[in-house]
């Protein structure tokens, strides 16, 4: 096996996109492992199914599920798969399993049910695309990732059991075949469906690559490569053509959204290059992430994360904030699901910037206020500038007040509050 390909939801969003995927895959003659996400927006719709399932709104969850099934049936028709009886049976069995699961009187645990329900997006997309590729002469074998990626019991954001996973993959898969499977999902030792965290399909690609010692992982996206800023916020972005594993890990840790934070490390451990290429501009070489990166310190990278919350926590009696206080505060963060993106402390204050579910925010505030004095700002923005020396920084702060500033040798970080309006494109 020489390569692992990963295609996200946008690259399989309709029959035209699936045809494009076929053109890409068929241009490679070597055997591949192809990882595919749910078709564009399907996971979001399945999350609505799950929410209604939890609220015992069976009729509503069933209606949404049937809409999802009909959407996939339309793609099946367009791809001319209606005459494939084996495929249709597999698809119809899956569709029935989804409807019966959400209609069952006995409800499963929240996390277990979430992973089970959202997994249908990847299962639907992969059986459709696998069958289509085989019909078009691009031979592949569909496999269920849950039989190979073994995880902890935690149903969501699960931890991979690397050795069990490696044994499963290498004892059951041949390097003389091409395989097509799902991103994002696995199973625990009890056989229950688990998920690897949102956007975890990139991670799935890394897991198969690490297990099979492939030559390269290619992630196909709708951008030209790994960009130095999000084009949603900034114009004149640049492609980071070649960066190191170390730099990629730093960028993903700081919040860069092109690659999943867990993806790079297993590839770095085995020195497997990661390439990010455009499925739209297939002729472009994209970005390469490997041991050596010539663009690491030359091109500034900007990471802009809006809609954060800023917490400023202090003792009620004005005593110092010691390690035991911080440990206690982090236990509250863990319980309420706050994801911390920046920290700063002084003698009397401990400040944190991060994100939290709106439903958990009142719980977080209440828990902190039981023991501490709390001030907080909602809807603040976190701006991170990596390798800032070659950048005109003042242009980044139009109509924004700086609440926190941090600086290291290579990185600047700001917590910002909008004064008039959100930043416009064109700062870069």
Buried b (16+ CB within 10 A) or exposed e, 108-146: beebbbbbbbbbbbbbbbbbbbbbbbbeeebebebbbbb
**Residue 277: pLDDT band with limits 50, 70, 90:** very high
Residue 222 CB neighbour total at 10 angstroms: 13
Specify burial of residue 29 (Cβ count, 10 A radius: 0-12, 13-18, 19+): exposed
**Residue 321: pLDDT band with limits 50, 70, 90:** confident
Percent of the chain with pLDDT over 90: 62
What are the tokens at 55? Answer: 């609220």
Assess whether pLDDT exceeds 80 at residue 179.
Answer: yes
Helix (H, G, I), strand (E, B) or coil at 402: strand
Tens of pLDDT, residues 40-55:
899 999 999 999 999 9
What are the tokens at 425? Answer: 């494109």
Assess whether pLDDT exceeds 60 at residue 199.
Answer: yes
Q: How far apart are CA 324 and CA 313, in angstroms?
A: 14
Assess whether pLDDT exceeds 90 at residue 256.
Answer: no
Q: Which runs of E-coded beta strand occur in 222-363?
A: 242-244, 274-278, 287-290, 301-315, 339-345, 349-355
Closest Cα to residue 122, out of 67, 201, 222, 190? 201
* pTM, entire model: 0.85
Domains and CATH numbers, the chain: 3-221 (3.40.1160.10), 301-418 (3.30.2130.10)
Q: How far apart are CA 137 and CA 22, in angstroms?
A: 10
What pLDDT does residue 298 have?
77
What pLDDT does residue 395 have?
64
Assess whether pLDDT exceeds 90 at residue 294.
Answer: no
Tens of pLDDT, residues 108-157:
878 899 999 999 999 999 999 999 999 999 999 999 999 999 998 877 77
Assess whether pLDDT exceeds 70 at residue 394.
Answer: no
DSSP secondary structure, 275-299, as one string: EEEESSSTTS--EEEES--TTTTTS
Tens of pLDDT, residues 398-410:
678 899 999 988 8
Mean pLDDT value across the chain = 89
Mean pLDDT of 350-379: 92
What pLDDT does residue 427 have?
45
Closest Cα to residue 219, out of 171, 272, 156? 272
Sign of dihedral through CA atoms 428, 200, 107, 367?
negative
Assess whether pLDDT exceeds 70 at residue 426.
Answer: no
Closest Cα to residue 286, out of 336, 246, 227, 342? 227
Q: How far apart are CA 328 and CA 320, in angstroms?
A: 14
């Amino acid at each position: 096996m020489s390569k692992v390909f990963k295609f996200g939801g946008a690259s399989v969003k309709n029959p035209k996109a699936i045809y494009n995927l076929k053109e890409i895959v068929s241009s490679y003659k070597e055997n591949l492992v192809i990882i595919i996400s749910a078709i564009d927006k399907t996971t979001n719709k399945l999350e609505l199914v799950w929410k209604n399932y939890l609220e015992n709104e069976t009729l509503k969850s069933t209606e949404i599920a049937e809409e999802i099934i009909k959407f996939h049936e339309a793609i099946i028709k367009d791809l001319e798969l209606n005459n494939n009886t084996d495929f249709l049976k597999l698809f119809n069995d899956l569709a029935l399993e989804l409807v019966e699961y959400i209609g069952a009187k006995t409800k499963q645990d929240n996390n277990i049910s979430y992973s089970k329900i959202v997994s249908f997006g990847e299962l639907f997309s992969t059986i459709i695309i696998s069958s289509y590729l085989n019909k078009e002469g691009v031979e592949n074998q569909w496999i269920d990732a849950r039989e190979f990626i073994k995880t902890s019991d935690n149903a969501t954001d699960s931890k991979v059991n690397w050795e069990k996973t490696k044994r499963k993959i290498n004892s059951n898969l041949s390097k003389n075949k091409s395989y097509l499977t799902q991103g994002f999902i696995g199973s625990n030792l009890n056989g229950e469906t688990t998920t690897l965290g949102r956007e975890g399909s990139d991670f799935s690609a890394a897991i198969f690559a690490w297990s099979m010692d492939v030559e390269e992982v290619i992630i196909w996206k709708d951008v030209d490569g790994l960009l130095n800023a999000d084009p949603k916020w900034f114009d004149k972005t640049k492609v980071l053509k070649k960066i190191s594993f170390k730099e990629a890990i730093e960028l993903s840790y700081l919040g860069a959204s092109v690659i999943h934070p867990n993806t790079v490390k297993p590839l770095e451990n085995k020195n497997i290059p990661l390439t990010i290429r455009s499925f739209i501009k297939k002729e472009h070489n994209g970005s390469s992430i490997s041991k050596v990166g010539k663009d690491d310190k030359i091109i500034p990278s900007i990471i802009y994360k809006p809609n954060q919350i800023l917490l400023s926590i202090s003792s009620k009696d004005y005593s110092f904030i010691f390690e035991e206080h911080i440990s206690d505060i982090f236990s509250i963060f863990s319980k309420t699901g706050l994801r911390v993106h920046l920290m700063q402390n002084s003698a009397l204050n401990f400040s944190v910037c991060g994100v939290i579910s709106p439903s958990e925010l009142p719980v977080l505030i209440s828990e902190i206020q039981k023991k501490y004095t709390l001030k907080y700002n909602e809807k603040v923005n976190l701006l991170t500038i990596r390798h800032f020396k070659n950048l005109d920084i003042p242009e980044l702060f139009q109509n924004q007040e700086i609440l926190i500033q941090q600086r290291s040798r290579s990185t600047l970080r700001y917590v910002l509050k909008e004064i008039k309006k959100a930043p416009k494109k064109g700062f870069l």
